[in-house]
Structure 1
Amino acid sequence: METINNDSSLKDGLISKDKLIALKKNLIGNETVIVICGPTCSGKTRAALNLAMLLDTDIISADSMQAFRYMDIGTDKQDLEKFSVKQFMINICDPDYRLTAVEFRDIARKVIKEEFFNKNKIPIIAGGSGLHIRAIIDDLMCAPDSRHELKKEIKEKIKLKGLDYYYNELKKMDMEYALKISSNDERRIVRALEVCYSTNRKFSDYLTNWEERKSIYNCVMIGLNTERKSLYDNIDKRVKEMIEKGLLEEVSLLYERGYSGCNSITQAIGYKELIKYLDGEMSLDESIEEIKKNTRHLAKKQLTWFKADGRINWVESGSSAGIKDIMKDILSIINLKVEHGRI
C-alpha cells in the first residue's frame, strides 16, 4: 500500500512540524473525529492509513462486513500493524452472529472514548458503510434491524394479495411515511411494515431526526471521489486480486464450516456469489462476473448515499491523484475547519 513516510512528508511540504503539532493539539483538545468515507475501491484505507501515520493515531473500521472473523480476502482486510497502526471494529464476531447497527454503534462509541479520547488520540473512522458511520456519529433513533422471518412472511402475503393492498395497509399504520414513498416501492413498503408489526410504532417515528444530520461529535467528514472509469477499473482489478489470493478457498472453508446460510455471508459481495458456484447454480466465471457487477452497483449506491450528506468535503482520489495530492487536500480541509472554528 502506498504510504508517505512521516519525515519525508514534512520535508515535501505537506505540513510543517510546528503546524502539525498545533493541528494535533487542536484536534485532540476539541475531541475531533475524522471520517474518511466514499464508495468501495476509492482508496479510503490508503488515505486513512497515511493520515493516521501523520497524526500518530489509529483507525476505526466502518465496514460492516470487516467486523466478521474468517471473512478476510472478500472484505479486503489490510494488515496495518506493520505500519504501527491499529484497526478497531475488525474481527469482533463470528459470521453466524447477528451484529446489529445499534450494537456496532455502541461498541464503536466505547472504543472512541476509551481508546482515543481517554488516551489523547484522534479517532479516524474509515469505511463505506454509510448507515454504520451515521449510527456512530449522529444522534439517531435507529429502527430495529430486519427480522428475516417476518420480512419473508410479508413478501409471501404480498404475492397473494398484491402490493397495492399492503401499501394501503401501510397508509393506515403510518400515513406520513407512506406518502413519502411510491406505491410501487416494495422494498420500502416491506421494511416499514416489518417495523410497524414488530414494534407497534410508526416507521416514521424512527426518521424524525434522520434529516437533521446532527453529530454527537465534532466531526470533519471527508469523502473520496473517483471518476467512474477509474473506479470500475479498480473494482475489476480488486476482484481479480481477491480470486488470486484465494477468495474461493476462503468461501469454501466457510461453506464447510456451515456458515453459508448466515446473514453475513448471504449479504456480503464476493461470498454470496461464490456460494452459488459451490451450490452448482452458476459457473465460476459467471460468479466472478456477478461479483464485479454487484460491486459496481454497491459503489453507485454508496456514492448516492454519501452525496446526500452536505457535511462531507470531497477530495478527488482517481487515477490522476497521487497520495501526496490526496493528503494535501485532506489536510487543507482539516486546517480550514480548525482555522474557522468549525470543530
Structure 2
Amino acid sequence: MKPMVILTGPTAVGKTELSIRLAKILDAEIISADSMQVYKKMDIGTAKIMPEEMEGIKHYLVDELDPKEEFHVARFQQMAKDALKEIYAKGKIPLIVGGTGFYIQSLLYDIDFTKEDGDQEYRKQLEEKAKREGNDSLYEMLKQVDPKSTEKIHKNNVKRVIRALEFYKLNGYPISEHNEKEAAKTSPYNFAYFVLNHKRDILYDRINRRVDIMVEQGLIDEVKRLKEEGYEKTMVSMQGIGYRQVFEYLEANLSLEDTIEQIKKDTRHFAKRQLTWFGREKEVCMVDKSQFGSEDEILTYMLTILKEKGIYDGSVKELL
C-alpha cells in the first residue's frame, strides 16, 4: 500500500509550521485539505500559507481557484487524487494538511461521490429559498428527511445543507446513511493520521489572537476589495468564517467591534466541531501539544510512529 501522512487539528493549533518541518524530514509534498485556502485573492481571512513560508515545499490546492468557483468535497477529492499521482510519480510521500475533516475522510477512504452530481435546478431553488427565508428554512427541511446530518452540519454551512437535500431528492435516502457506509470502508493507503490539539484555553486564546492579527493585516479591506470586484456574499467562497461576518459589517448590519467578536466566537465554535469530528474518526493519533515540551519532541513522537508503520525509515534523533 502507498504511504500517506495526515496532519490535522482545529484551526489555529499550529499545523502549518509543523507541517513544513515534517515535510522536509519525510521528503514529502503537501496537499491542503482546507475548504478556503484553495481560493485566490483570499489570503488574510483564510490564514493562507504564503510562498515564502513554504520553504521550497511544493503545495497543492492552495491559491488555485477563483472565488466565483464552487469547491466541494467531490471536487477536492478529484483534485487531491490528481496531486497524489504527481507526488507518487516523484517517489515522494503525500502529506495532507488542513482542518476539513470530511475532505480528509473522502481522500483517505476513497469515498464514492458518483451519485452526487446534483440537481442544478433544485439547488437554485434551495439557494433562492435561503436568500428569501433564511438558512433556518433549509435546515428545518433537512431535519425532516435527515436528522443525523443536522447533528454534523451547522445551519450556516448552506453549501453542505443544500448538498444533503439534493442527495436525498436524487437518491431517496439520506446522505448520512451513504456517508456511514462509505466511512466503514478500509483505507487503500498505509497511513498515519495525526490530530494536533492543545488545552482549550490556550487554543481559544490562539484563535482570538489570530483574528486580531487578521484584522490588523487588513481583513476588512480584503473583503471590501472582493465585494468591489463583484464577489457576492451568497457565493460558496464567501461563506467562510471571517468573510461572511465582514460582509455583514460592510452592509452596516454589524459594528466593527461586534464583527470581530462574532468572528472569534464562530471560529471557536468551528474548532469545537472540528475536534468532535476528529474524535469520531478511526485510527487517529491524538497529539496533545500540552503534553510535549517542544516542537522537536512532537516531531520525535510522530517520526517514531511513522517508523513503526514503515512510512519513514530514517533516523529519528539525527534529523532534529
Q: Which moved more, 1:186-195 or 1:55-64?
A: 186-195
User: How far apart, in 1, do the equivalents of 2:141 and 2:75 lie?
Assistant: 35
Give the structure 1 partner of residue 34 of structure 2: 63
Please give the secondary structure, in 2, of the residue aligned with 1:230.
helix
The one-letter amino acid paired with 2:33 is A
Give the structure 2 partner of residue 139 of structure 1: 110
User: How far apart, in 1, do the equivalents of 2:33 and 2:281 lie?
Assistant: 16
- Which deviations, in whole Å up to 9, do the C-alpha atoms of 1:1-40 show, x marking residues without a partner? xxxxxxxxxxxxxxxxxxxxxxxxxxxxx52010001110
- Which deviations, in whole Å up to 9, do the C-alpha atoms of 1:162-195 show, x marking residues without a partner? x69983xx4xxxxxx66x6799x99699865442
Output the TM-score relative to the length of structure 1: 0.77
Summarize the Cα distance change of 1:192–1:125 in structure 2 as closer, same or farther, 3 Å threshold: closer
Query: Conserved in 2, the CA contact under 8 Å of 1:80 and 1:87?
Result: no
Please give the secondary structure, in 1, of the residue aligned with 2:97.
strand
Query: Conserved in 1, the CA contact under 8 Å of 2:101 and 2:278?
Result: yes
Please give the secondary structure, in 2, of the residue aligned with 1:123.
strand
Give the structure 1 partner of residue 64 of structure 2: 92
Please give the secondary structure, in 2, of the residue aligned with 1:338.
coil
Query: Conserved in 2, the CA contact under 8 Å of 1:313 and 1:333?
Result: no
User: How far apart, in 2, do the equivalents of 1:244 and 1:166 lie?
Assistant: 40
The one-letter amino acid paired with 1:285 is E
Alignment of 1:229-268 (within 5 A): 229-268=201-240
Give the structure 1 partner of residue 244 of structure 2: 272
**What is the Cα deviation at residue 320 of structure 1?**
6.1
The one-letter amino acid paired with 1:124 is L
Summarize the Cα distance change of 1:165–1:73 in structure 2 as closer, same or farther, 3 Å threshold: closer
Please give the secondary structure, in 1, of the residue aligned with 2:286.
strand
**What is the Cα deviation at residue 144 of structure 1?**
5.1
Q: Rg: which structure is higher? A: 1
**What is the Cα deviation at residue 333 of structure 1?**
1.8
Alignment of 1:1-343 (within 5 A): 30-81=1-52, 83-114=55-86, 116-142=87-113, 143=116, 147=123, 149-150=125-126, 153=129, 167=144, 170=145, 192-197=164-169, 199-203=170-174, 206-207=178-179, 209-318=181-290, 321-338=293-310
Q: Which runs of 5 or more residues in structure 2 are unaligned?
A: 312-320
**What is the Cα deviation at residue 46 of structure 1?**
1.4
State the Cα RMSD in Å: 3.2
User: How far apart, in 2, do the equivalents of 1:165 and 1:31 lie?
Assistant: 38
* Paired positions, count: 297
Query: Conserved in 1, the CA contact under 8 Å of 2:70 and 2:237?
Result: no
User: How far apart, in 1, do the equivalents of 2:134 and 2:223 lie?
Assistant: 34
The one-letter amino acid paired with 2:126 is L
Please give the secondary structure, in 2, of the residue aligned with 1:209.
helix
**What is the Cα deviation at residue 103 of structure 1?**
1.4
Summarize the Cα distance change of 1:240–1:158 in structure 2 as closer, same or farther, 3 Å threshold: closer
Query: Conserved in 1, the CA contact under 8 Å of 2:30 and 2:59?
Result: yes
**What is the Cα deviation at residue 74 of structure 1?**
0.7
Give the structure 2 partner of residue 16 of structure 1: none
Q: Which runs of 5 or more residues in structure 1 are unaligned?
A: 1-29, 171-176
**What is the Cα deviation at residue 245 of structure 1?**
1.1
User: How far apart, in 2, do the equivalents of 1:182 and 1:64 lie?
Assistant: 20
- Which deviations, in whole Å up to 9, do the C-alpha atoms of 1:315-337 show, x marking residues without a partner? 12249642112111211221222
Output the TM-score relative to the length of structure 2: 0.82
